[in-house]
Amino acid sequence: MQFPDHPVPIVVLTGAGISKESGLDTFRDEDGIWSKVRIEDVATPEAFRRDPERVMEFYNHRRAGLLDPAVHPNEAHKALARLQESWPEEVMVVTQNIDNLHERGGAKDVVHMHGELLKVRCEACGNISEWLEDLTIDTPCFVCGSVGTKRPHVVWFGEMPLHMDKIEWALTHCGLFVSIGTSGNVYPAAGFVSMARLRGKAYTIELNLEPSEGSSLFHECRHGQATDLVPAFVDELLMRNAA
């Protein structure tokens, strides 16, 4: 299959690798988050029921890290925002990340399939609200008044990712699928390339520091730092459209 020779709808999937150069830890690298703490202890519904204080402490620490003034969107985030603004067709940015660096870099309508670190959800009334402070089990819901029902608005292992209908529709109607900074071993995101390629007939490209577990499924792979690869790729796309 050849690279599209005209503007087509694009779906971009991003993972932890795009935010690493902004100062945030990845998960599955040798020194990543899951090398320091067990998934079963902090990132499952069972962990939250068993020890909510520990789970909240883990996410409080991550929230504080995201709010550190030293953490800011990098050139890869900004390049995708530029693509959204300049590309004549829709560019949907779907992220596995729970940070807000895409939005801070200028991207619009980012689809957060794993939730958002700077939001909390009430399990009693369903209210979702922005949250920049530490969260405790004693934090009341300001909508329904319930206590002990607040949790981070993130998708834990064993829970269904968000916005899947919207994502699947876009994957089967796009002409180009780009995967950036993902490990390729966490489903359902690891299956997006097959969905876009086989069901949607899209051209597929991986931009990653190194080959992902699913790299052989892509039509094309480019490997290196996201802050180098993504701006160059966006420039290439926009130049093709201008030609």
Instruction: Compute the average pLDDT of residues 31-44.
Output: 73
Do 202 and 134 fall within a single domain?
Answer: no
Kindly name the residue from 61, 114, 153, 223 that is annotated as catalytic.
114
pLDDT at 28 over 60: no
- Is residue 135 a contact partner of residue 120, using CB atoms and an 8 Å limit? yes
pLDDT at 27 over 60: no
Q: Where are the alpha helices (DSSP H) in the chain?
A: 39-42, 45-50, 52-66, 75-86, 101-104, 164-171, 192-194, 226-242
Do 203 and 231 fall within a single domain?
Answer: yes
* pLDDT of 26: 61
pLDDT at 40 over 90: no
Number of structural domains in the chain? 2
Do 135 and 169 fall within a single domain?
Answer: no
Strands (E), the chain: 10-14, 91-95, 111-112, 115-122, 128-130, 150-154, 176-180, 203-208, 220-223
pLDDT interval class at 168 (50, 70, 90): very high
For the question of residue 112 being annotated catalytic, the response is: no
pLDDT interval class at 3 (50, 70, 90): confident
- Is residue 164 a contact partner of residue 154, using CB atoms and an 8 Å limit? no
Distance CA 236, CA 220 (A): 14
- Is residue 207 a contact partner of residue 52, using CB atoms and an 8 Å limit? no
pLDDT at 31 over 80: no
98 closest CA partner among 166, 140, 43, 158: 43
pLDDT tens track for 71-105: 999 999 999 999 999 999 999 999 999 999 999 99
Distance CA 154, CA 131 (A): 12
Do 173 and 221 fall within a single domain?
Answer: yes
Do 120 and 147 fall within a single domain?
Answer: yes
230: domain CATH number is 3.40.50.1220
**Structure-model confidence comparison of residues 106 and 26, the more confident one:** 106
The residues that bridge with 203 in the sheet, in sequence order, are: 176
116 closest CA partner among 162, 160, 70, 81: 162
pLDDT at 2 over 90: no
Burial of 184 (0-12, 13-18, 19+ CB in 10 A): buried
* Range(s) of the domain holding residue 141: 25-70+115-154
Do 96 and 170 fall within a single domain?
Answer: yes
pLDDT at 215 over 60: yes
Mean pLDDT for all residues in the chain: 92
Do 190 and 129 fall within a single domain?
Answer: no
* Strands 91-95 and 111-112, sheet pairing: parallel
Distance CA 120, CA 111 (A): 17
225 closest CA partner among 187, 190, 176, 180: 180
Least confidently predicted of 18-22, 46-50, 126-130, 239-243: 239-243
Do 179 and 226 fall within a single domain?
Answer: yes
* pLDDT of 238: 95
pLDDT tens track for 177-206: 999 999 888 889 989 999 999 887 999 999
Distance CA 91, CA 199 (A): 19
* pLDDT of 50: 94
